[in-house]
Structure 1
Amino acid sequence: MEKPKMNYLKTFLLGFGFFGVSVIWSVYNAFVPLFLDERFGLHAGFISFIMVLDNIAALVIQPPLGIFSDRMRSPIGRRLPFIVVGAPVAAGVFGLIPHAQVLPLFIFSCITLLLAMAFWRTPVVALMPDITPSEHRSPANGVINLMGGLGTVLATLIGGPLYNINPAYPFYLGGGLVTLAAILVLIFIREPKEYIASKLHLADKAEGSQMETNVLKNISNVFTQKDKSALFILLSILLWFIAWNALETFFTLYGVNHLGLSGGDSAFQISYTGLSFMLMAIPAGILARKFKRKRVISAGLWIMIATMILIYLIPGNILLTKFASLMGSGFYIISIILIVAGFGWALINVNSLPMVVDMTDDERIGTYTGLYYFFSQLAATIGPVLFGWSIQLAGNNYRLMMVIAPIFFFLAFLTMLGVKKGEAKPVSVPESEV
């Protein structure tokens, strides 16, 4: 009996979908807060509210779309139709955001972007477990996140200097790259044949147990299961994403307001985290296959706790000790710490989705991917608001977020202790393939 192997080329090509998602959100999170601060003069609390409007919409949209894509049948599969519709709309509206000169139009552009991105994000991520055997899902997700890290690096490494030239240029870059990424996925990725039909329809294959289309019902099922592993991993995802999304949202403002960096240089610092994340993505998956996903995630959480505490404890003037200049921006002590943080985040993020989808069967991968995004988007809603108002109430003390973040990473470590399932499943090969 020959074990199914991982197709690295196909996985890399699929990774372009996540590459496009990462480019869009990296540019969005790095520069939209700067627009809100500099163009519209908003304070941290109000910025956080606007930055989570997209997450609130995603919270409502993405889980049902994961369920819907599980049931979709079309000539090109159950996931790809969502990319055909969502990606070009997202790319087009993204280029309009920097040209919105009045706040209502700016917010409307951001919400339109979110709706388009939410339409295809869950289905494109669910493609990875669709085409990858269980034991290879952590390494495969490493490849996917490598491509996502590449998107983050390009968005911030190139986007920072472009922003200094013209604030609209990073958005043009993002729109162009997401269009290219979607085209590559549509050309080279083919879904499993059992999910392709001659005409569009909805399918319920499981006899006697129809798939729930109610997201809240699916969440309720997770809470009422005898084994609480799914509940604990989803709570862990909620907690660590509260910390991560808040850091991602406010780091450029932290760099500008606390460290005194320029907007472009502050955004450039994020590229160091993205670069190290990208380099660690594949090793993180391989380590999980060898040492188990839970252990690797827990190690990543402790790395994140240590790096955030270090940034808080080290004085700003020492954090900005400069070693070199790169593309008009600096390489500082804080850059080194952010590189280490990227390694830690890779250990966490690469292995969390495989743990979630390996708590269910192949028919419900989209449903559980939707649950993954429900909790991560709930975190993306709570995190920036919690951190934003905390910062504002502390007199716009952006350094405070380096205290709050480790608390949530530690709480995530505690909930991970309750996770007993989610490791790679034993390989089974159908008799017809033996």
Structure 2
Amino acid sequence: MQGAITLLWVVYNLYLVQLLTALGFAQGLALGLLVLENLLAMVIEPLMGTFSDQMQHRMGTRFPIISLGVVLAAGLFVVVPSALIWGQGPLLRWGLPLLLVAWALAMAVFRSPALSLLGRYAIGTQQPRAASILTLVGGLSGAMGPLAGQFILGLGPFVAFGLGSGVLVLATLALRWLGPKQAVDEARDVASVTASASTPWSGLGLVFGAGVGVGLGFRLVMMALPATLTQQVPQANQPLVLGTLFVALALTAIPAGKLAQRLGNRRAMVLGLGTLAGLAILVGAIASTVMGVVLAALFGAALSLVSNGTLPFALAMVPPQRAGLGTGTYFSGGALAASVGAGLFGNRGLTPAAITVAAAIAFLLAGLCVAYSKRFSRL
């Protein structure tokens, strides 16, 4: 599921400007749409997570809300490129931005409920290893942007968007039918279903803060890397450098999951976030493609420690009955980070050095949230 979600966003980001400019919109509208979509997702993610928690307690499953969101997202994604046909008029063309926002909202409907299932399919100490599969698939899907972007663009919007929708539907079917028949914490949920689970607001604040820090730090590094290469190594192979980061993230995901199980998820995340902060500062020292590739590989390896731990971290900060809320709160922080990264740092003329310093600070703040969470964690 994580791989399908990542793939759809890769396709979306590759085609967004092309679709908007084809109907006469300015390129700047793309940035505005991304900011708006993420601000809306910041609110919707925890709401849908909470709604799925209630559904889980009443019906014993989250799949109705997951299925609804997937059907809406897949259907809207297929329809998006058709705007090139029916959206040529001065008024009709505004249907495209509305359609894009509607699709982004549909994606926010099912992500938190779907990924919160990790807490039902693996016990706490094994969750980082289970999450490493999500990181592996997500890393490979993310690598398709820089490494296979031209191929995806060559498919054309109708084929690319259609394939993306198909992958999402297939991933949902696999999640539904190949998952374990009985959740690992089913007995615990049954025992506590009548109990009123208090909402750990302090813990959720730390989850939100970690989501903001990780999301903002990552996005700023992804802005600083190509900017640094353009400025200091004009002849550099930028797709190779960026692709290496995602490939390294995927290849180190499973070993990082084993390390997290040995060290403990909190320690592994703090180690990863501290390393990411140091590597972010080193981005400014890139002087060749080789240095860029090496630094990107190290960044991807450190990021795997963090990516593997984010969902288990969020789930550990809430009771099992609030798994959707915990997951949604983390993604809410990430959505705010995406809006801040695009709105405050995008196209502001900031130097790569300033951006990397901001990224390092974001990672360190996330690390503080994770380290301080020990007193609130269930594990």
- Name 1:339's counterpart in structure 2: 297
Q: 1:405 aligns with which of 315, 334, 359?
A: 359
**1:254/1:83 CA distance change after superposition, 3 Å:** farther
- Name 1:52's counterpart in structure 2: 35
- Name 1:80's counterpart in structure 2: 63
Q: 2:260 aligns with which of 288, 297, 300?
A: 288
Q: Contact 1:273 / 1:342 at 8 angstroms: preserved in 2?
A: yes
**1:246/1:111 CA distance change after superposition, 3 Å:** farther
Matched, 1:42 2:38: no
**1:73/1:127 CA distance change after superposition, 3 Å:** closer
Q: Contact 2:209 / 2:333 at 8 angstroms: preserved in 1?
A: yes
Matched, 1:122 2:122: no
- In 2: Cα distance, 1:82 partner to 1:237 partner: 23
- In 2: Cα distance, 1:410 partner to 1:33 partner: 33
Shift of 1:41: 4.4
Q: Which runs of 5+ in 2 are unaligned?
A: 88-92
Matched, 1:392 2:348: yes
**1:184/1:32 CA distance change after superposition, 3 Å:** same
Matched, 1:182 2:172: yes
Question: How many residues were matched structurally?
Answer: 367
Q: Contact 2:207 / 2:330 at 8 angstroms: preserved in 1?
A: no
Shift of 1:63: 0.9
Higher helix content, 1 or 2: 2
Q: Pairwise CA RMSD of aligned residues?
A: 3.6
Bigger shift: residues 343-352 or 155-164: 155-164
Given residue 92 of structure 1, which amino acid in structure 2 is its aligned partner?
G
- In 1: Cα distance, 2:367 partner to 2:40 partner: 28
Shift of 1:345: 1.3
Given residue 247 of structure 2, which amino acid in structure 1 is its aligned partner?
L
- Name 2:251's counterpart in structure 1: 279
- Name 1:66's counterpart in structure 2: 49
Q: 2:340 aligns with which of 363, 382, 394?
A: 382
**1:19/1:302 CA distance change after superposition, 3 Å:** same
**1:240/1:91 CA distance change after superposition, 3 Å:** same
Q: 1:311 aligns with which of 283, 287, 290?
A: 283
Shift of 1:253: 7.2
Matched, 1:27 2:11: yes
Given residue 279 of structure 1, which amino acid in structure 2 is its aligned partner?
L
Matched, 1:231 2:216: no
Question: What's the secondary structure of 2:373's corresponding residue?
Answer: coil
Given residue 266 of structure 2, which amino acid in structure 1 is its aligned partner?
K
Shift of 1:114: 0.9
- In 2: Cα distance, 1:415 partner to 1:275 partner: 28
Matched, 1:366 2:320: no
Normalised by the length of structure 2, the TM-score is 0.81
**1:410/1:362 CA distance change after superposition, 3 Å:** closer
The C-alpha deviation readout for 1:118-155, integer Å capped at 9, x for no partner, is: 11111110111112111211111112222222322345
Question: What's the secondary structure of 1:392's corresponding residue?
Answer: coil
**1:424/1:247 CA distance change after superposition, 3 Å:** same
Given residue 342 of structure 2, which amino acid in structure 1 is its aligned partner?
P
Q: Contact 2:256 / 2:308 at 8 angstroms: preserved in 1?
A: yes
- In 2: Cα distance, 1:268 partner to 1:86 partner: 34
Q: Which runs of 5+ in 1 are unaligned?
A: 1-16, 197-202, 213-217, 224-228, 322-331, 426-434
Bigger shift: residues 167-176 or 140-149: 167-176
Shift of 1:89: 2.7
- In 1: Cα distance, 2:156 partner to 2:175 partner: 30
Q: 2:201 aligns with which of 211, 222, 231?
A: 222
- Name 2:90's counterpart in structure 1: none
Shift of 1:272: 2.1
**1:208/1:232 CA distance change after superposition, 3 Å:** closer
Shift of 1:252: 9.4
Shift of 1:96: 4.2
